[in-house]
């Protein structure tokens, strides 16, 4: 894929504090790059820098390989599109809002309206064409905002948590429509979110931004399966973080000694090396009996429940196996298995779900 946009050595300061420090970020034609990170990680700042709405204190930006200057800003913005978290619609009808971007670019009104109607249809809001923007629901307003951005046929579409303020059912529906439209148009997209499901669903590549720095970037499945460091792993939800030493390595199957217990992992790490062991709670299977059950999982440990935290339809358990291991279980299973703090249980997990990072 050819490179459309890139930034190099970008630094952004706020009150003498560095809020964004990105050495290199490249966006390829036709890809969806999702940028995820916790609140305050600098995601929106990065998006505004990429869309040239915020001038960084240092660094360069290239567009089709050409170094951009301040005088290129307007032309750049007119070739691309932006959707923010809040729809920020103007007074007037839905149709009037959707043609705004095209009118800024000098498109005649009739032509703009014709094009806008196509996008209203694609976002399933044709029936709202003449409705005042002040009389829309949150979902309808965000659909209008998306139609407005798509109607200018941007080369790159920048989105800053556009579905964040919506309720779950509305969000799910818009997300599905949005995903279908992005896929069918092949639109190059930068999508900022703190929601991992959105990132996984939409992103061809995922970039993890923590404390203003790009800590990892790569194909979505790869990033989620193999976090680059402790911070990324913690953000991605690997709540079991253990320190151990590799005691054997047989063709990529390694044994790690953690508190005198052996954990098997699929990795290629030298014997004797200290490592951090990451394990996601959803990869851990819980068994009500302490006796080790029949399972193909290579890791089988016995322990005692030390903590119970409800998480929506699930329950997060911490099991003390000589070291803490996190596990997720559905509420009905939790009740059915009569689990509680102090109850002795067994956990199993596959060697392939254990991720090691050399220290």
Partner 1 sequence: MELIWEGISQAFELLLSLDPEVLEITLLSLQLSGLATIISMLIGLPLGTLLAIGLFPTRRFWLSVVNTGMALPTVVVGLSVSILLWRSGPFGSLGLIYTPAAIVIAQVIIAVPIVTGLTVAALQNLDPRLQLQLYGLGASRTQVIWHLWKEARLPLLAALMAGFGAVISEVGAVMMVGGNLLGHTRVLTTAIVLETGKGEFALAIALGVILLLVAFFVNMVLTGIQQRS
For partner 1, which is the closer residue by CB, 33 or 48?
48
Closer residue to partner 1 in complex, CB, 152/345: 152
How much of the chain is in helix, strand and coil states, percent to nearest 5?
30, 40, 30
Instruction: Report whether 188 contacts 30 (CB < 8 A).
Output: yes
Among positions 90-109, residues that touch partner 1 (CB under 8 A) are 90-91, 100-101, 104-105
Which CB, 77 or 171, lies closer to partner 1? Answer: 77
The angle at the Cα of 76, spanning 73 to 82, to the nearest 5 degrees, equals 100
Under rule CB under 8 A, residue 78 binds partner 1:
yes
Q: Find, among 150, 117, 153, the residue nearest to 109 by Cα.
A: 117
Q: Which residue has the tokens 């014709």?
A: 114
156 interacts with partner 1 by CB under 8 A: no
The answer to whether the beta carbons of residues 87 and 160 sit under 8 Å apart is no
Q: In the complex, what is the shortest distance from the CB of residue 151 to partner 1, in angstroms, rounded to a whole number?
A: 10
Identify residues 158-197 at the interface with partner 1 (CB under 8 A). 158
CA distance 72 to 279: 47
Nearer to partner 1, 115 or 216 (CB): 115
Part of the chain binding partner 1 (CB under 8 A), chosen from 72-80, 212-220, 242-250, 265-273 = 72-80
27 makes contact with partner 1 (CB under 8 A): no
Strands (E) located in 194-271 = 205-210, 213-219, 240-250, 253-258, 261-266
Does 23 engage in binding with partner 1 (CB under 8 A)?
Answer: no
Contacts with partner 1, residue ranges (CB under 8 A):
48, 51, 53, 74, 77-78, 81-82, 84, 86, 88, 90-91, 100-101, 104-105, 148-149, 152, 158
């Amino acid at each position: 894929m050819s490179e459309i946009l890139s930034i190099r050595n970008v630094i952004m300061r706020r009150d003498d504090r560095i809020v964004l420090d990105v050495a290199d970020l490249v966006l390829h034609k036709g890809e969806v790059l999702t940028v995820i990170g916790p609140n305050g990680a600098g995601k929106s700042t990065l998006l505004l820098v990429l869309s040239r709405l915020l001038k960084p204190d240092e660094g360069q930006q290239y567009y089709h390989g050409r170094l951009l200057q301040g005088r290129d800003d307007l032309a750049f913005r007119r070739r691309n599109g932006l959707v923010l978290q809040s729809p920020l619609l103007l007074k007037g009808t839905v149709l009037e809002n959707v043609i705004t971007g095209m009118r800024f670019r000098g498109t005649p009104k009739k032509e703009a309206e014709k094009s806008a109607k196509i996008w209203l249809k694609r976002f399933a809001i044709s029936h709202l064409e003449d409705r005042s923007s002040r009389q829309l629901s949150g979902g309808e307003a965000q659909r209008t905002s998306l139609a407005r951005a798509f109607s200018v046929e941007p080369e790159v579409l920048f989105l800053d948590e556009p579905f964040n303020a919506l309720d779950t059912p509305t969000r799910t529906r818009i997300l599905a429509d949005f995903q279908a439209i992005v896929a069918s148009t092949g639109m190059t997209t930068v999508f900022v979110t703190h929601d991992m499901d959105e990132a996984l669903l939409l992103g061809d590549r995922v970039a993890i931004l923590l404390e203003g720095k790009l800590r990892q970037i790569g194909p979505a499945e790869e990033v989620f399966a193999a976090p680059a460091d402790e911070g990324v792993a913690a953000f991605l939800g690997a709540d079991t973080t253990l320190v151990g030493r590799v005691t054997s390595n047989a063709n990529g199957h390694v044994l790690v000694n953690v508190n005198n217990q052996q954990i098997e992992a699929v990795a290629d790490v030298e014997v004797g090396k200290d490592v951090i062991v990451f394990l996601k709670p959803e990869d851990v299977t819980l068994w009500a009996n302490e006796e080790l059950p029949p399972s193909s999982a290579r890791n089988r440990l016995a322990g005692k429940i030390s903590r119970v935290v409800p998480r929506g339809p699930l329950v997060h358990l911490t099991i003390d196996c000589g070291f803490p291991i996190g596990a997720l279980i559905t509420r009905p299973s939790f009740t059915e298995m009569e689990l509680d703090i102090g109850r002795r249980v067994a956990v199993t997990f596959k060697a392939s779900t254990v991720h090691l990072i050399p220290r």
